[in-house]
Structure 1
Amino acid sequence: MKDIDDTNLLHAESATRVQLPEGKTHHLLRAGDLLFRSRGRSNGAAEVMEGIGTAVLAAPMLLIRPHRVLPAYLCWYINTPATQAHLAAQAEGTSVRMISAEALKALEVPLPPVDMQQRIAQLAALAEREQALMTHIATLRRQQTHHILMKFAQEAAK
């Protein structure tokens, strides 16, 4: 769970490495799989991208292996605020809230044609990138303003 950031991106390069026994390759993650955080403060999904290497999923994560739907589209749909609110209403437990596999399986996902799924996923990715860039710009603007004001303060004190 720690290898998925707040924007639901998987960072496999920092994952814990273990030696796996031979066989049972159906447990291995593959590109296009979705990893769902069933517990914790955030219950989003992250898509496994190409180049994951040999990896398995650790509990309490749930594996979603999409069929007849584009993984990026399904990931976007699961992470939308409306779907997250729906899943939160299905959560069980008091101190540690958990989304069950049954609640996830019961989720009704609208399935537009594949080309529309692709466009939706691409637009969602662009919107996420725009948000990240805007946040970065705001950080740089704050740093620049701080630097300018500090320079003014030092010059005025001379």
Structure 2
Amino acid sequence: MKDIDDANVVHCETATRVLLPKVKDHHLLRAGDLLFRSRGRSNGAAQVTEGIGIAVLSAPMLLIRPHSVVPDYLCWFINAPATQAQLGAHSEGTSVRMISAEALKALEVPVPAADVQQRVVQIAALAEQEQSLTAQIATRRYQLNTRILMKFAQEAAR
């Protein structure tokens, strides 16, 4: 769980390495698999990308292996605020929030045609990029205003 950041990106370079005697192929992570954080403050999904190498999932993570749905789309859907709220309504626990595998399995996912799923993913990525750029613009505008006001204050004090 510590190897997935707040943006739901898997960081394999920081993962704990262990030597396992024999691991069955169906336990190995594959590109396109989704890793769901079932416990903690954030219950998002992260997608496994190419080049992960030999890796297995540790508890309390849940493995979602998409079938007949584009993995990027399913990841977007699970991480969407409305879906997160729906999952949150089924959370258990008082001190540590937990989403059960049953609650995740009960989630109804609308599955449009694959090309529509791809378009949704592309538009969602563009919207996320817009949010990031807007935040950068706001930060730079604040910095510029602060510099201008500082210069004005210093000149007025002379």
The equivalences for 1:76-95 within 5 A come to 76-95=76-95
TM-score by length of 2: 0.89
Q: Report the equivalent of 2:26.
A: 26
Q: Report the equivalent of 1:130.
A: 130
SS at match of 1:36: strand
Supply the AA of the counterpart residue of 1:134: T
> 5+ residue gaps in structure 2?
none
The equivalences for 1:11-50 within 5 A come to 11-50=11-50
Which whole-Å CA distance do the structure 1 matches of 2:21 and 2:157 have between them?
A: 69
Which whole-Å CA distance do the structure 1 matches of 2:139 and 2:22 have between them?
A: 48
Any idea what the Cα deviations from partners look like across 1:76-116, whole Å, max 9, x if unmatched? 11111221111111111121120001111111111111111
Any idea what the Cα deviations from partners look like across 1:25-58, whole Å, max 9, x if unmatched? 3322221011111111111111112222232222
Please identify, of 19-28 and 128-137, the stretch whose mean Cα deviation from structure 2 is larger.
19-28
SS at match of 1:121: helix
Q: Report the equivalent of 2:5.
A: 5
Q: Report the equivalent of 1:68.
A: 68
Please identify, of 3-12 and 80-89, the stretch whose mean Cα deviation from structure 2 is larger.
3-12
Does 2:104 correspond to 1:104? yes
TM-score by length of 1: 0.89
SS at match of 1:92: coil
SS at match of 1:62: strand
> 5+ residue gaps in structure 1?
none
Please identify, of 21-30 and 58-67, the stretch whose mean Cα deviation from structure 2 is larger.
21-30
SS at match of 1:46: strand
The CA RMSD measured in Å over matched residues stands at: 1.7
Which whole-Å CA distance do the structure 1 matches of 2:65 and 2:26 have between them?
A: 11
State the identity %: 74
